[in-house]
Amino acid sequence: MAKLTGIQIQKLLPKTNCKECGSNTCLAFAMKLAAGKAELSECPYASEEAKAVLGAASEPPVKGVYFGADKQVKVGEETCLYRHEKTFVNQTVFAININDADSAEAIEQTLDSVAKYELTRVGEVLRVEMLAITHNASAPEALAAAAENAWQKTGRPLILYSSDVKALAAAAAAVKGSNSLIGPATPENAAELVEIAKANAHALLVTAPDLNALVALTGKLKEDGFNDLVLQFQTSSLAEQFQANSIARKAALKTAYKPLGYASINFIKSGDVMDASVAAITEITKFGGICVLPEFNKAQLAGLMALRQNIYTDPQKPIQVEPKLYAIGEPTKDSPVFVTTNFSLTYFIVSGEIENSGLSAWLVIPECEGMSVLTAWAAGKFSGASIGKFCKEIGLDNQVNTREIVIPGYVAQISGELEENMPGWKVIVGTQEAGDIESFVKARFAQHLK
């Protein structure tokens, strides 16, 4: 069936604009459906005709699955193969593996590390989103005990992994409400596991010896009405995993092949930190849904988190900070005033350099649509007139006694125009590079340093 446009889809919707689907109008919802960013089931009033016509055509090519009590951890819902085409949507989720046969002390240490780990980077707080509990203990009840403990201590949704169906059933029930992932469901035990997953509102991790068997299994599960699935490919090398992830994603996006239209999971087994990092990097860059790391390693996570953040940032929407007047340190009304753009990287580098110089200051951040200094200036978003207007809007004259404002060295040419637009103010041309701010501050504002 040819892909329907938003307008064609809207004709099949009730057109009451009741907003219950989360969109303001039926047309807006139809546009989301057409873009594969919503599911028809989100409209409670969709007619049987709409369901029949839209059916599979309205489903996102990669099924979204949500984890956690508040369903904040999401996988799937991707619509493009390459980041530059549009944007990747739901970032590869990181999980740390725990074996229920490990010592209580080792398990507690990992739980504690995961619960406390936070990395703040360009204004975003990055965390490990999930925990995997692999059942290796001889006692079947060990899985449920470890799962309950992990859920209570970290609040992270879990991946419960065991071939013992009874152990899995007990653990799934113990963490009901966590919206976790259980498995592995195989062609042999899938029917039983579906019932356990349904009874406890969990999703299902499915696996099979090869892609053909996996396709048959996901097709059957969907036909039977269970569609919250995550795929585990049985691969034995980095190259095979890369290939399987790529085949599945291409099939889902380019040919709308539903049996492979799910996020994937990979348990990284290597105990070598470099090998494990390479495997994780492959997951982040090549379509991995959930990446389970074999152990908690702060240094490894920092690099992986930064890479993931970069890959999953919308290339068309630079990360921005809120336009306003920022206090750096503990400025008084007489402290120096700086101005730069609201591109996150620019803001964090400039504010960090001012802070590192030991100066307390004010930093004016006008609206520049997230552009860097020279780009914003070239686009007319960082001019003397626009900065002057913004300073007026935030009432800068009343907030500080200072009447000097430092502009980035790259836009020295706007100093005259800015002075015209900020009567009574003197414009000081600062440094071109943020790395020179410290020496600039020491030379220019020594009297303000403690």
Q: Where on the chain is the footprint of ligand SF4 (CB under 6 A)?
A: 13-14, 16-21, 23, 26, 29, 43, 45
Amino acid at the residue 107: I
C-alpha closest to that of 359 among 316, 402, 399: 402
Least CB distance to ligand SF4 at residue 34 (A):
13
Shorter beta-carbon distance to ligand SF4: residue 29 or 94: 29
Q: Which amino acid is at 341?
A: T
Contacts of 361 (CB under 8 A, 6+ apart): 328, 329, 331, 335, 336, 337, 338, 354, 445, 448
Q: Say if CB 229 and CB 218 are below 8 A apart.
A: yes
Q: Which is nearer to ligand SF4, 45 or 85 (CB)?
A: 45
SS3 labels along 417-441: HHHHHCCCCEEEECCCCHHHHHHHH
SS3 132: strand
* Smallest separation (angstroms) from ligand SF4 to the CB of 195: 31
Residue closer to ligand SF4 (CB basis): 59 or 78: 59
Q: For residue 370, report the phi and psi dihedrals to the nearest 5 degrees.
A: 70, 20
> CA 111: distance to chain centroid?
22
CB of 78 to ligand SF4, least distance (A): 23
Nearest distance in Å: CB 16, ligand SF4: 5
Nearer to ligand SF4, 13 or 319 (CB): 13
Residue nearer to ligand SF4 on the CB measure, 30 or 248: 30
Question: Cβ 66 to ligand SF4, closest distance in Å?
Answer: 19
Q: How far is the CB of 53 from ligand SF4 (least distance, A)?
A: 14
Closer residue to ligand SF4, CB minimum distance, 20 or 393 = 20
Sheet of 426-429: strands edge to edge? Answer: 324-328, 361-365, 337-339, 404-407, 426-429
Nearer to ligand SF4 (CB atom), residue 9 or residue 114? 9
Closest distance to ligand SF4 from the beta carbon of 203 (Å): 25
**Residue 43 or residue 111: which is nearer to ligand SF4 going by CB?**
43
- Name the minimum Å distance from CB 26 to ligand SF4: 3
Residue from 192, 201, 152 nearest 172 by CA: 201
Residues whose CB falls within 8 Å of the CB of residue 356, separated by 6 or more in sequence, listed in order: 438
CB of 6 to ligand SF4, least distance (A): 12
Question: CB of residue 49 vs ligand SF4: minimum separation in angstroms?
Answer: 14
What single string gives the DSSP state of each residue in 178-241? S--EEEEE-TTTHHHHHHHHHHHT-EEEEEESSHHHHHHHHHHHHHTT---EEEEE--SSHHHH
Say if residue 26 is exposed, middle or buried (CB neighbours under 10 Å; 0-12, 13-18, 19+).
Answer: buried
DSSP state of 450: -
Torsion over CA: 78, 80, 82, 84 (sign): negative
Diameter over CA atoms, the chain: 80
What residue has token string 């999980």? 95
User: Which of 42/141 has CB closer to ligand SF4?
Assistant: 42
- The distance of closest approach from Cβ of residue 9 to ligand SF4 in the complex, given in angstroms and rounded to an integer, is 10
- Nearer to ligand SF4 by Cβ, of 29 and 242: the residue is 29
The CB-of-31 to ligand SF4 minimum distance in angstroms stands at 11
Q: Hey, what amino acid is at 166?
A: K
Distance from the first to the final alpha carbon of the chain: 71
Q: Which is nearer to ligand SF4, 52 or 125 (CB)?
A: 52
- β-strand pairing of 324-328 with 337-339: unpaired
Closer CB to ligand SF4, 17 or 300, in the complex: 17
Which residue from 361, 356, 368 is spatially nearest to 322, judged by alpha carbons?
Answer: 368
For residue 357, give every residue at least 6 positions away whose Cβ sits within 8 Å of its Cβ, in sequence order, or none. 437, 438, 441, 442, 449
